[in-house]
């Protein structure tokens, strides 16, 4: 019965994903494959280069615990970041990593304005900020955590992540072909069989060391493969607006796209994440008052424009 229900769920999700793709959703940016079997977690201590700490795979998969591989790299974590609060609030540092570096499947929080982070959590609570794509356990758990957080917990997490310095962890590479992708649920990984595949009109962002990333090390790095010509086209769009396609990003996000006041920095952020947010702004997923400034800037963007902008922005130093 369990196998039947699992197969049925996977079929439903994959069918829904195909339907979303037909409706214009860039499904590669909202990756979710429930058919992938995750190896069982064990208690054996694991080690990573550059750290004297040891954590097991069971600890890494415990969403009420944030593995701290480099405690000297950041201030003491508040309880909500380190361990969350059972039964509903997962540890912020588990999915977003203890230094807020995040990954392609979620958001980088490091260095974002405290007031901006507080507002985003409020928007998620109120429904002013939504999440498109297939229903994924990660987004469901995130929404459950956000809705259960108290105001003191929200402010403690926001203050902590705002104080973190963003890391340059993404290398952007233009290419027509990429390493063949293998099994993954929420993000792309290289196939253990080797080989290559066509990139096409998408961005494929992969961790350089899958174990390091899945063991939740904030120092994990990524390579983002983007279509040839994306960087030059994205730079033109970002700096000039592309002859009326959009407006210069620096008008709001600052001359180096590192933020201005309560406007968040976008330089060096995950290009997969950037595309998701541009899609959400364009399609009504983000409707808070501050989002009204973005609506006219994205309404004329094609998905290829979004890819180019995200590629260029990701290539910059945060």
The confidence score (pLDDT) of residue 290 equals 83
Tokens 């590192």 appear where?
A: 258
Give which of 203, 201, 181, 205 is closest to 193, Cα–Cα: 181
| Burial bucket for residue 166 (CB in 10 Å: 0-12, 13-18, 19+) | buried
| Burial bucket for residue 50 (CB in 10 Å: 0-12, 13-18, 19+) | exposed
Rounded CA-CA distance 109/249 in Å is: 20
With residue 179 as reference, give the H or E element that holds it. strand 177-179
The mean-pLDDT minimum among 109-113, 116-120, 284-288 falls in 284-288
The confidence score (pLDDT) of residue 14 equals 43
| Domain match, 122 and 177 both | no
Does 255 have pLDDT greater than 80? yes
| Domain match, 55 and 194 both | no
| Domain match, 186 and 299 both | yes
| Domain match, 154 and 176 both | no
The confidence score (pLDDT) of residue 183 equals 83
How far, in whole angstroms, is CA 82 from its chain's centroid? Answer: 19
| Domain match, 63 and 181 both | no
Q: Which of 162, 183, 205 is the last residue of a domain?
A: 162
| Domain match, 158 and 175 both | no
In tens, the pLDDT along 25-66 reads 999 999 999 999 988 999 999 999 999 999 999 999 999 999
| Domain match, 53 and 8 both | yes
| Domain match, 20 and 147 both | yes
CATH of the domain at 272: 1.10.760.10
| Domain match, 308 and 188 both | yes
Domain that residue 14 falls in: 2-162
Q: What share of the chain is helix, strand, coil (3-state, %, to 5)?
A: 40, 10, 50
Does 102 have pLDDT greater than 50? yes
Number of domains in the chain: 2
Half-sphere exposure (Cβ direction) of 253: Cα atoms closer than 13 Å:
20
Q: Which of 132, 162, 192 is the last residue of a domain?
A: 162
Number of residues in the chain: 318
| Domain match, 185 and 146 both | no
Rounded mean pLDDT, 121-129: 95
Give which of 74, 72, 67 is closest to 46, Cα–Cα: 67
Does 6 have pLDDT greater than 80? no
| Cβ atoms of residues 254 and 189 within 8 Å | no
| Domain match, 270 and 300 both | yes
Rounded CA-CA distance 249/240 in Å is: 8
Tokens 């709001």 appear where?
A: 252
Residue 24: pLDDT band with limits 50, 70, 90: confident
Q: Which of 134, 162, 190 is the last residue of a domain?
A: 162
């Amino acid at each position: 019965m369990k196998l039947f229900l699992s197969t049925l769920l996977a079929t439903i999700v994959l069918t829904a994903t195909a339907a979303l793709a037909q409706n214009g959703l860039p499904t590669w940016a909202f990756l979710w494959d429930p058919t992938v079997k995750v190896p069982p977690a064990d208690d054996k201590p694991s080690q990573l280069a550059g750290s004297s700490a040891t954590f097991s795979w069971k600890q890494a998969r415990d969403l009420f615990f944030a593995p701290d591989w480099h405690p000297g790299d950041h201030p003491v974590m508040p309880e909500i970041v380190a361990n969350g609060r059972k039964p509903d609030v997962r540890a912020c540092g588990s999915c977003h990593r203890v230094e807020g570096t995040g990954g392609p499947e979620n958001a980088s929080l490091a260095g974002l304005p405290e007031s901006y982070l507080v507002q985003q959590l409020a928007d998620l609570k109120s429904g002013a900020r939504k999440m498109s794509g297939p229903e994924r356990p990660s987004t469901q758990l995130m929404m459950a955590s956000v809705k259960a957080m108290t105001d003191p917990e929200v402010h403690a997490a926001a203050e902590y992540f705002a104080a973190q310095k963003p890391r340059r962890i993404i290398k952007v590479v233009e290419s027509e072909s990429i390493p063949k992708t293998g099994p993954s649920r929420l993000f792309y990984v290289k196939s253990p069989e080797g080989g290559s595949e066509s990139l096409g009109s998408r961005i494929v962002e992969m961790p350089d060391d899958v174990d390091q990333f899945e063991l939740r090390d904030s120092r994990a790095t990524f390579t983002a493969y983007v279509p040839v010509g994306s960087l030059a086209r994205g730079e033109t769009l970002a700096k000039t607006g592309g002859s009326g396609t959009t407006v210069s990003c620096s008008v709001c996000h600052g001359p180096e796209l590192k933020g201005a006041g309560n406007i968040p920095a976008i330089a060096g952020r995950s290009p997969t994440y950037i595309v998701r947010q541009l899609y959400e702004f364009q399609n009504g997923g983000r409707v808070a008052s501050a989002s009204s400034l973005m609506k006219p800037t994205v309404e004329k963007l094609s998905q290829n424009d979004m890819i180019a902008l995200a590629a260029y922005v990701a290539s910059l130093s945060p």
